[in-house]
């Protein structure tokens, strides 16, 4: 008979940084992963820049967080 061992799984807790946008922190379980890079991707006009600016301002003022905003542009092809 093979004895099965029941290993105890340790829950890993990912520390989060709230971004201060009503509803967003709720659906992301308290914000974005702290100390990690987060890529926000979407089509033009989807609110990426607005979200980034909200995070930068509220993160700095309310939560003493640092942030970097980098935007990439795409040249129109003729």
Give the residue extent of every domain in the chain. 16-63
The one-digit pLDDT tens for each residue of the chain (78 residues) are: 555 555 555 556 788 888 888 888 899 888 888 888 888 888 889 998 998 888 888 888 887 877 788 888 777 776
What is d(CA 28, CA 25) in angstroms, rounded to the nearest whole number? 5
The structure tokens listed for 75 are 């040249």
pTM for the model: 0.62
CB 20 within 8 A of CB 66: no
């Amino acid at each position: 008979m093979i004895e099965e061992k029941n290993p105890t799984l340790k829950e890993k807790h990912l520390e989060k940084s709230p971004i201060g946008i009503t509803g967003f922190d709720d659906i992301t379980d308290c914000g974005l992963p702290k100390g990690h890079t987060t890529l926000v991707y979407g089509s033009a006009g989807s609110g990426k820049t607005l979200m980034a600016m909200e995070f930068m301002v509220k993160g700095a003022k309310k939560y003493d967080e640092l942030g970097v905003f980098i935007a990439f542009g795409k040249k129109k092809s003729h």
